C-alpha cells in the first residue's frame, strides 16, 4: 500500500509541469528521495519561492538534490519552452493551473485561454513526440458542483459552479478522448483540498496554512459564510503517494483523492487554535454563491485500483504541518531549493 | 402538444444566432409564420445560401417575410457585431457552431477558440445587457460518447470522443453555472441527427440530403465503416417545434431531442433508393475511430416537460424532403430568401 520505488518508474524519464508549485515541489522531492532524476517545467519568476508568500520548506527537503533535478523555464499558456521540456520524456505530470477556483469566475475567458488551450497544445506536442503517459491533477472540490450523494463517487454527474471546475472537466474530457483515440495512458486525480508546506498562505490556495499563519500572527481571519461549509482536506504527503502510484499505472483511469472525511471550516479553526495555543480573531462574511455547502469524496476506487491509502488524519496532518513550519528556515540555493544542513 | 403561437413569446424580442444556417433558417421561418418579428445574426457571406451547396428552399418558405426579419451580420468567433445584435433582445437562440464533429479533432484549439470562447463572450455580453433567456443547441450525437445504455437518457455520463462534443459539454456547463449563479434561464437541447432542406449536402452535416443528391445524380456514395452504424435521425420540423417550446419555457433544463429510434446507415440508403427509384453506387471505407457504434436518444423527458412530440417518422420525413426538393427552385431576394410565388 502506497509503496513506491525507482522500479515503479522503470527507467521512464519524468517531467513535472508546475514542479515549483505547491504539489510539484513535494512530488519532485519524492522522486529525488527515490533517486529518480526528474525534469521540472515552471515559470521563470516563480512566486511560490518568495519567502514572504510561502512557508519554510520542511526538513525532508534538505537533501542535496539539485543534481537530480533539471529545471526548464517557460510559459505554459503560450507554450514557450514546452518543447524543450518535453524532449526525451516518457511520463508527464501536469500540475499547472493558471487560475484558482475562487477567482476563476471573474475571467473565464482567461481561464480557458491559459488552462484549456495550454493543455490542448501540450497534448498535441506529446502526441507528435510520441509521449504516451500523463498524470493530471483535476479538482475533486469543484468538478461535481453541489453533490447529491456524500461521499461523492467518481460516477457522480459533473456540474461545476465555477469556471475552474468547468475547465478541469473539459481537460478531463480531452484526456479521455486522447486515451480512447490515440492510445494515451491518462490518469486523472480529482484531488480534494490539499494542504501542507509550500502552500501559499495568502488565502487563495488553502485555509490551513492561512489559519496557522494568521492565528500565530494574531491577525484577523475572514471566513466566507458561517464556517459550516464542509470540505475534504488531505495532507500533501498523501496526495504525493497517490501521484506516484498513478504514474506507475499502465492503464487509464479517473480517481478521487481525498481523506474521504468531511470537516467544517469551524472544526479546522478549532484544531489550528489548539496547536498554536492562541484564540483566533474571526470575522464571518456573507457566503459566496459558488461555494458548495458540503463535499467529501468517496475514495474507495483509488484505494482499490491504485493500492493507495491516505495515512495522515486531519489532526495528525495539522500536527506535522505545525511542527515543520516552527523550525527555522534554511538558506536556499540558486535554484530556489533549500541548501543541505551544514 | 407542440403547439406554439405568438402568445408563447409574450412580447419577447427574439434573436437567432446562426439564423441563416440549416436549423436557423427553419426556426426563423417558423417565427415569421407566427407573425413574430425576429432578428438574425449571421456571417456576412453565408455559404449555406449558395445554391450549389444547399437544397432548394421548401415551398412553406415562400411567404413575404423579410419585413419581419432584421439581419445583423458579424463574426461570432471575434464577437464583431454581436453587441448590435443583442441590443434590446429578451431571448437568444444560440445555433452557431464554427466546427462540425467529423473534422473538429483536426484542430481542437480552433474549436475552443471559435465556439467556447465565443460563447463565453456572448454570456458576458448577455449578462451585462440584462438578457436572461437562452436556448442552446447542443449535440445529442456526441456528448455521450459511446453510450452504455440505449436509448441514452440525459443522465448518462458525458464522455465525448470528439472535440466538437467536448466543447458542447463545456458550453453546457457554463450555461448551467450562469443559471445557478446569475439567474439565467437556459434551455439546452441535445439534438440528435437533424435532416431537412437547407442542409449542406457536401457530406459534413447530414447523410440524408447527401444520399438523395448522390443517388439522384448517380454519383458515388462513400460510407465510413460497413453501414451498420446506428443514429437517431430527426426531421428539422420536429427540431423547430422543440426549439419553440424551449424558448417559451420559464425554467432551465437540458433535453434530448431526437426521434428516440435508431436507424443504420444502410437502412437510410434503402429508404432513399426507394424514393429516388434508383440504385446507389456505394463504396465502404474503413470505420473512423471517433464514430460511436450505436446511439439513439431517450426523449421521454422532453415529451413530458416540454409537452413536445416528434411527428415525422424517418420514412415520412424522407418522403417530405424528397417531395420538397423535386419542386423547381424559386428566385431569391437580396437577403437570400425566396421570393413569394408570382
> How confident is the model over A280-299, as pLDDT tens digits?
999 999 988 777 889 999 99
Q: What angle do CA A85, A87, A93 make, to 5 degrees?
A: 55
B122: left (phi over 0), alpha (psi -120 to 50) or beta: alpha
Average pLDDT of chain B is 89
Instruction: Give exposure, B204-236, as e/b (b: 16+ Cβ within 10 Å).
Output: ebbbbbbbbbbbbeeeebebeeeeebbbbbbbb
Which of the four pLDDT bands, split at 50, 70 and 90, describes residue B177? very high
Q: Which of A236-245, A288-297, A312-321 has the weakest average pLDDT?
A: A288-297
Give which of A116, A156, A175, A184 to mutate to test B binding, by max B Cβ within 10 Å. Answer: A116
User: In this complex, do A173 and B180 lie within 8 Å of one another by their Cβ atoms?
Assistant: no
Would strands A133-139 and A38-42 be described as parallel, antiparallel, or unpaired?
Answer: unpaired
Locate A79 and state its grid cell.
507554450
Catalytic residue, chosen from A93, A136, A144, A164, is A164
Pick the more confident residue, A90 or A99.
A90
CA A41 and chain centroid, separation: 15
What's the distance, Cα to Cα, between the start and end of chain A in Å? 35
Contact B173 A162 (CB under 8 A): no
- The percent of residues in chain A predicted with pLDDT above 90, rounded, is 76
The conformation of residue B19, written as its DSSP 8-state character, comes to: T
- Residue A62: pLDDT over 80: no
Tell me if A328 is assigned to some domain: no
Distance between CA A319 and CA A272 in Å, rounded? 9
- pLDDT attached to residue B227: 94
Residue A216 lies in a domain: no
* Chain A residues with beta carbon closer than 8 angstroms to that of B116: 112, 116, 170
DSSP state of B312: -
Question: Is the pLDDT assigned to residue B221 strictly greater than 90?
Answer: yes
**CA A322 remoteness from chain centre:** 19
User: Does position B171 have pLDDT exceeding 90, yes or no?
Assistant: yes
Question: What is the phi/psi pair of residue B161, to 5°?
Answer: -110, 10
Task: Identify all chain A residues contacting B159, using CB atoms and an 8 Å cutoff.
Answer: 173, 176
The answer as to whether B65 is a domain residue is yes
Per the CB < 8 A criterion, the answer to whether A179 and A252 are in contact is yes
Q: Is the pLDDT of residue B49 over 50?
A: no
Query: Looking at the predicted structure, is the pLDDT value of residue A60 above 90?
Result: no
Nearest 5 degrees, angle CA A47-CA A53-CA A59?
95
Q: Quick one: pLDDT at residue A51?
A: 44
Greater confidence (B226 vs A201) lies with B226
Measured distance CA(A201)–CA(A264) in Å, rounded: 19
Selecting from A117, A159, A167 the residue whose C-beta is nearest the C-beta of B109 gives A117
Check residue A204 and give its pLDDT.
54
- A113/B116 CB distance under 8 A: no
Three-class SS state of A61: helix
> Is the pLDDT assigned to residue A24 strictly greater than 90?
yes
Q: How far apart, in whole angstroms, are the C-alpha atoms of residue B334 and residue A136?
A: 53
Residue A21 DSSP label? S
Collect contacts of A75-81 with beta carbons under 8 A, ≥24 apart: A75/A43, A76/A17, A76/A18, A76/A41, A76/A43, A76/A114, A76/A118, A76/A122, A77/A113, A77/A114, A77/A115, A77/A117, A77/A118, A79/A118, A79/A121, A79/A122, A79/A125, A81/A41
Backbone angles phi, psi at B234, to 5 degrees: -135, 135
Question: Cell numbers 527555522 label which residue?
Answer: A328
Residue B315 confidence class, pLDDT cut points 50, 70, 90: very high
The tally of domains found in chain B comes to 1
User: What pLDDT was estimated at residue B62?
Assistant: 38
Q: Supply angle C-alpha B265, B165, A124, rounded to 5.
A: 110
A145 pLDDT exceeds 70?
yes
C-alpha pair distances (Å), B237 with each of A40, A270, B61, B309, B337: 56, 62, 13, 11, 18
Write the burial class of residue A7 (CB in 10 Å: 0-12 exposed, 13-18 middle, 19+ buried): exposed
Instruction: Quote the distance between the C-alpha of residue B266 and its chain's center.
Output: 23
Domain assignment present for A244: yes
Could you tell me which residues come within 8 angstroms of residue A307 by beta carbon, excluding any fewer than 6 positions away? A1, A2, A3, A245
Q: Look at residue A54 and tell me if it is in a domain.
A: yes
| pLDDT given for residue A46 in this prediction | 54
Whole-angstrom CA distances from A35 to A4, A15, A92, A248, B123 are 12, 15, 18, 16, 50
Rounded to whole angstroms, what are the CA distances from A325 to A203, A292, A320? 17, 30, 9
Interface-testing mutation among B170, B183, B184, with chain A (most A C-beta atoms within 10 A) = B170
pLDDT at A140 over 70: yes
What is the arithmetic mean of pLDDT over B329-342? 51
Q: Are B6 and B35 in contact (CB under 8 A)?
A: yes
Q: If pLDDT is split at 50, 70 and 90, which confidence band does A57 have?
A: very low
A53, A66, A132, A228, A330 from A59: Cα distances, Å: 18, 15, 35, 34, 9
Domain interval for residue B121: 12-199+233-258+297-311
Whether A324 is in a domain gets the answer no
Q: Residue A86: how many CB atoms within 10 A of its CB?
A: 20
Q: What is the pLDDT of residue B204?
A: 54
Q: Chain A contacts of B165, Cβ < 8 Å?
A: 173
Closest CA to B95 of B38, B139, B161: B139
Q: Is the pLDDT of residue A56 over 80?
A: no
Do the domain assignments include residue B165?
yes
In this predicted structure, the answer to whether residue A53 has a pLDDT above a threshold of 70 is: no
Question: Can you give the three-state secondary structure of A226-290, one letter per residue?
Answer: CCCCEECEEEHHHHHHHHHHHHCCCCCEEEEECCCCCEEHHHHHHHHHHHHCCCCEEEEECCCCC
The position carrying cell 425554467 is B251
Confidence of residue B100 (pLDDT cuts 50, 70, 90): confident
Of A108, A120, A290, the CB nearest to B174: A108
The CA-atom distances, in angstroms, between B139 and each of B142, B215, B223 are: 6, 28, 21
Average pLDDT over residues A89-112: 92
Separation of alpha carbons A304 and A284, rounded Å: 40
Output the nine-digit C-alpha cell for A337: 531549493
- Least confident range from A262-266, B295-299, B335-339: namely B335-339
Give the pLDDT confidence of A201-227 residue by residue, as tens digits: 655 568 999 999 999 999 999 999 999
Q: Residue A290: list chain B partners with CB under 8 A.
A: 177, 181
More confident residue, B39 or A99: B39
DSSP secondary structure string, B216-249?
HHT-EEEEESSS--EE-EEEHHHHHHHHHHHHT-
Question: Residue B15 and residue A334: Cα distance in Å, rounded?
Answer: 59
> Is B332 within the bounds of a domain?
no
Mean pLDDT, chain A, rounded, equals: 89
Q: Which residues of B are annotated as catalytic? A: 164
Chain B interface disruption, residue of A170, A288, A291, most B CBs within 10 A: A170
Predicted local distance difference test score (pLDDT) of residue A335: 53
Q: Count chain A–chain B contacts defined by CB atoms under 8 A.
A: 86
Q: Which of A195-199, A243-247, B185-189 has the lowest mean pLDDT?
A: A195-199
Mapping DSSP onto H, E and C, the string for A203-215 reads CCCCHHHHHHHHH
Which CATH number characterizes residue A88's domain?
Answer: 3.40.50.720
Query: Contact A145/A190 with Cβ under 8 angstroms?
Result: no
Least confident of A74-83, A196-205, B6-15, B299-308: A196-205
What distance in Å separates residue B110's CA from the closest CA in chain A?
A: 9
pLDDT band at A45 (very low <50, low <70, confident <90, very high): low
Position with higher pLDDT, A61 vs B241: B241
Q: Residue B155: its chain A contacts at CB < 8 A?
A: 157
State the CB neighbour count (10 A cutoff) for residue B254: 19
Amino acid at each position: 500500500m502506497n509503496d513506491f520505488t525507482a522500479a515503479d518508474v522503470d527507467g521512464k524519464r519524468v517531467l513535472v509541469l508546475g514542479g515549483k508549485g505547491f504539489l510539484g515541489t513535494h512530488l519532485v522531492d519524492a522522486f529525488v528521495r527515490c533517486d529518480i532524476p526528474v525534469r521540472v517545467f515552471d515559470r521563470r519568476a516563480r512566486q511560490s519561492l518568495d519567502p514572504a508568500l510561502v512557508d519554510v520548506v520542511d526538513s525532508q527537503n534538505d537533501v542535496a538534490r539539485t543534481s537530480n533535478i533539471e529545471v526548464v523555464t517557460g510559459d505554459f499558456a503560450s507554450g514557450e519552452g514546452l518543447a524543450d521540456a518535453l524532449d526525451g520524456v516518457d511520463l508527464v505530470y501536469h500540475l499547472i493551473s493558471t487560475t484558482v477556483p475562487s477567482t476563476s469566475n471573474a475571467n473565464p475567458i482567461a481561464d480557458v485561454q491559459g488552462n484549456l488551450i495550454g493543455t490542448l497544445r501540450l497534448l498535441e506536442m506529446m502526441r507528435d513526440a510520441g509521449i504516451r503517459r500523463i498524470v493530471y491533477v483535476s479538482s475533486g472540490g469543484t468538478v461535481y458542483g453541489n453533490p447529491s450523494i456524500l461521499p461523492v463517487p467518481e460516477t457522480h454527474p459533473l456540474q461545476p459552479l465555477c469556471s475552474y471546475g468547468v475547465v478541469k472537466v473539459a481537460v478531463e474530457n480531452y484526456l479521455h478522448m486522447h486515451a480512447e483515440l490515440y492510445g494515451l495512458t491518462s490518469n486523472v486525480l480529482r484531488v480534494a483540498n490539499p494542504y501542507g508546506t509550500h502552500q501559499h498562505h495568502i488565502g487563495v490556495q488553502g485555509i490551513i496554512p492561512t489559519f496557522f499563519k494568521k492565528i500565530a500572527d494574531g491577525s484577523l481571519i475572514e471566513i466566507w459564510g458561517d464556517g459550516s461549509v464542509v470540505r475534504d482536506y488531505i495532507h500533501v504527503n498523501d496526495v504525493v503517494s497517490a501521484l506516484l502510484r498513478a504514474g506507475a499505472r499502465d492503464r487509464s483511469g479517473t480517481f478521487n483523492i481525498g481523506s474521504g472525511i468531511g470537516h467544517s471550516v469551524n472544526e479546522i479553526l478549532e484544531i489550528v487554535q489548539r496547536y498554536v495555543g492562541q484564540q483566533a480573531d474571526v470575522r464571518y462574511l456573507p457566503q459566496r454563491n459558488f461555494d458548495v455547502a458540503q463535499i467529501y469524496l468517496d475514495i474507495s476506487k483509488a484505494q482499490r485500483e491504485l493500492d493507495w491509502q491516505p495515512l495522515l488524519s486531519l489532526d495528525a496532518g495539522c500536527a506535522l504541518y505545525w511542527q515543520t513550519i516552527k523550525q527555522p528556515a534554511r538558506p536556499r540555493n540558486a535554484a530556489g531549493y533549500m541548501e543541505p544542513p551544514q
